[in-house]
């Protein structure tokens, strides 16, 4: 019989791991920034420290992991092989890792030169990834909702980067742009067309596979990614034409789609066949509940925009969506992907007859669960800080730094155990 | 369902990787040349497709409304 899984087309472990072992450090940076800046971060979404914090999380943590994971899983979930994954990973990782702190610093010290440099680096890094990924993925027939979703999410990534680079260069050069509307669109393209569509496309595969749930029903799975992208295009058109009501209509429809997807995933999770709740299923449960909260707030705000004037509304919404939903989903997936990949590569590299350590020894469940509870404590403090920023902003920052550092430590330990097992 | 009935079925829908792969390869070893087997999964197994192609097995897959992929493989 053949060896369990062919690694012929899988990129070397170093390709995704450089992203996975960098991303949590940006959560630590985000926590430290919150400690330094304190309650002012919650005063307005336009504060320099707030813009810096949001991008440390979205680019520094989320995008790092998403691109690292895609370089690894495109051959597995879409049959799409990237031509030279290791040099590509090196280039994209270097650009993201240098570009993110430059962008945060550019916001913090209001420096046109830093903003320009960050925009160029991020555009090069993400553009390089898109140039490699788009031909590889679009060469595959859309035989599954996952492949269709992956294709559309890459277009979403192109959209969020184009808007982000425009905004950064606009700030650096003092261009007259409709900043509030473009910023909302930038966030929409990032969190819906890119992250949301990618999350759905990956969830179709990983939720049944990792949590042993039933599959996602085929028809809504086919339609969700194009529907989300069409609604983003409608929202963009509304901004271009200056029709705020149409923009609100598109936003309301997006909220309903997101609520339906989160509700369906929650139902699938309730039917899972794995009796014991592991760190991944708990992270996903927390993420789904936070997503339901954030999307309900989004839906209410489209019907009744005055509600967003409450000072806690926008920070609470952002915390639930970014820290509550996306970071939880990503951490939950990392806790399956990292032990599985290390185990798989060990199995391939081992001499016949030598035992391969089991997955639980490479990254023990107890270590993951403890880190997860630390992260949930950080999340609770962050949500509390939206309501009581003067009291809780700094404790929330400290706890976020601890939970991010702990995630980093757990992943690093798995990488070390992998290296040690390989040597024996 | 367009796929013909076959007694050789691996229902891997609630199995963790790499079990679906291992079970499929084991069953392919036991059936006769020309016979077909059916693999049921909630995803498309691209790494398996690659191995099937390398080993010259014909296969076709279909997505059912409940999210099951039926993959019919010929020995």
Rounded Cα–Cα distance for residues A106 and A113 (Å): 8
Write out the residue range of the structural domain in which residue A179 sits.
7-346+359-418
| Domain assignment of residue A115, yes or no | yes
- Confidence band, pLDDT 50/70/90 cuts, at residue A112: very high
Task: Give chain A's contact residues with B (Cβ, < 8 Å).
Answer: 1-2, 4-6, 8-9, 75-79, 143-146, 204-205, 208-210, 212, 214-219, 221, 273, 340, 344
Contact B67/A218, CB-based, under 8 Å? yes
Q: Give per-residue pLDDT as tens, A180-197.
A: 999 999 999 999 999 999
Domain containing residue A306: CATH number = 1.20.210.10
How confident is the model at residue A1, as a pLDDT? 38
Task: Choose, out of A8, A73, A76, A340, the residue to mutate when testing the contact with B (most B CBs < 10 Å).
Answer: A76
Q: Give per-residue pLDDT as tens, A126-171.
A: 999 999 999 999 999 999 999 999 999 999 999 999 999 999 999 9
Partner-chain residue, chosen from B18, B44, B47, that has the shortest CB–CB distance to A143:
B44
- Confidence band, pLDDT 50/70/90 cuts, at residue B4: low
The torsion angle over the Cα atoms of residues A17, A20, A26 and A28, rounded to 10 degrees, is -110
Beta strand B59-63 with B69-74 is antiparallel
Chain A: give the shortest CA distance to residue B50, in Å. 8
Q: Which residue of A has its CA nearest to B68?
A: A215
| Domain assignment of residue A414, yes or no | yes
Contact B18/A78, CB-based, under 8 Å? no
How much is the pTM?
0.95
B61 inside 8 A of chain A by CB? yes
| Domain assignment of residue A338, yes or no | yes
Rounded Cα–Cα distance for residues A48 and A314 (Å): 16
B43 inside 8 A of chain A by CB? yes
Q: Torsion-angle region of residue B15: left (phi > 0), alpha (psi -120 to 50) or beta?
A: beta
How many domains does the structure of chain A reveal?
A: 1
| Domain assignment of residue A213, yes or no | yes
Rounded to 5 degrees, φ, ψ at B74 are -100, 135
| Domain assignment of residue A260, yes or no | yes
| Domain assignment of residue A424, yes or no | no
What the block records as the tokens of A146 is 């996952």
Beta strand B36-41 with B9-11 is parallel
Which of A250, A154, A138, A246 lies closest to A197, judged by CA? A154
| Domain assignment of residue A262, yes or no | yes
Which of A269, A294, A137 lies closest to A206, judged by CA? A269
What the block records as the tokens of A155 is 């277009």
Flag whether pLDDT at A4 surpasses 50. no
Strand B59-63's sheet: what is its strand order? Answer: B9-11, B36-41, B69-74, B59-63
Which of A301, A159, A172, A273 lies closest to A213, judged by CA? A273
Q: Give per-residue pLDDT as tens, B14-55.
A: 998 889 999 999 999 999 999 999 999 999 999 999 999 999
| Domain assignment of residue A131, yes or no | yes
Flag whether pLDDT at A7 surpasses 60. no
Rounded Cα–Cα distance for residues A65 and A44 (Å): 28
Percentage with pLDDT > 90 across chain A: 87
């Amino acid at each position: 019989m053949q060896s369990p899984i062919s690694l012929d087309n899988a990129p070397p472990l170093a390709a995704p791991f450089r992203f996975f072992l960098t991303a949590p450090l940006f959560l630590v940076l985000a926590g430290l920034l919150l400690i330094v800046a304190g309650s002012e971060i919650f005063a307005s979404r336009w504060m320099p420290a707030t813009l810096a914090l949001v991008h440390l999380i979205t680019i520094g943590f989320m995008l790092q992991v998403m691109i690292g994971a895609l370089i690894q899983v495109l051959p597995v979930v879409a049959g799409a092989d990237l031509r030279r994954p290791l040099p590509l990973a090196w280039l994209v990782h270097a650009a993201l890792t240098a570009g993110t702190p430059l962008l945060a610093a550019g916001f913090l010290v209001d420096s046109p030169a830093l903003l320009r440099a960050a925009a160029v680096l991020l555009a090069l890094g993400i553009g390089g990834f898109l140039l490699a990924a788009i031909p590889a993925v679009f060469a595959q027939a859309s035989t599954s909702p996952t492949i269709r979703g992956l294709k559309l999410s890459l277009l979403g990534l192109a959209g969020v980067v184009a808007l982000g680079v425009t905004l950064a260069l606009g700030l650096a050069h003092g261009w007259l742009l409709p900043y509030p509307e473009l910023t909302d669109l930038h966030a929409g393209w990032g969190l819906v067309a890119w992250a949301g569509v990618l999350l759905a496309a990956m969830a179709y595969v990983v939720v049944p596979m990792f949590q042993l749930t039933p599959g996602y029903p085929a028809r809504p799975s086919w339609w969700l990614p194009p529907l989300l992208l069409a609604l983003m295009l409608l929202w963009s058109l509304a901004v271009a034409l200056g029709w705020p009501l149409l923009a609100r209509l598109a936003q309301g429809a997006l909220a309903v789609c997101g609520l339906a997807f989160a509700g369906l995933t929650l139902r699938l999770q309730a039917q899972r066949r794995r009796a014991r709740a592991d760190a991944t299923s708990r992270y996903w449960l927390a993420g789904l509940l936070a997503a339901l909260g954030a999307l309900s707030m989004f839906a209410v705000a489209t019907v009744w925009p005055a509600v967003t004037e409450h000072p806690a509304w926008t920070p609470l919404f952002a915390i639930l969506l970014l820290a509550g939903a996306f970071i939880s989903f990503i951490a939950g997936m990392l806790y399956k992907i990292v032990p599985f990949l290390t185990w798989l590569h060990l199995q391939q590299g081992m001499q016949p007859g030598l035992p391969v350590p089991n997955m639980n020894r490479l990254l023990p469940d107890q270590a993951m669960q403890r880190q997860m509870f630390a992260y949930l404590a950080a999340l609770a403090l962050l949500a509390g800080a939206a309501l009581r920023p003067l009291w809780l902003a700094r404790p929330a920052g400290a706890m976020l730094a601890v939970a991010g550092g702990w995630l980093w430590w757990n992943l690093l330990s798995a990488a070390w155990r992998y290296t040690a097992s390989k040597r024996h | 369902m367009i796929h013909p009935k076959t007694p050789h079925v691996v229902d891997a829908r609630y199995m963790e990787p790499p079990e679906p792969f291992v079970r499929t390869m084991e069953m392919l070893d036991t059936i006769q040349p020309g016979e077909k087997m059916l693999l049921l999964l909630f995803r498309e197994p691209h790494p398996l497709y690659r191995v099937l192609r390398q080993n010259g097995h014909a296969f076709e897959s279909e997505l059912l409304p409940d999210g099951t992929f039926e993959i019919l493989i010929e020995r």
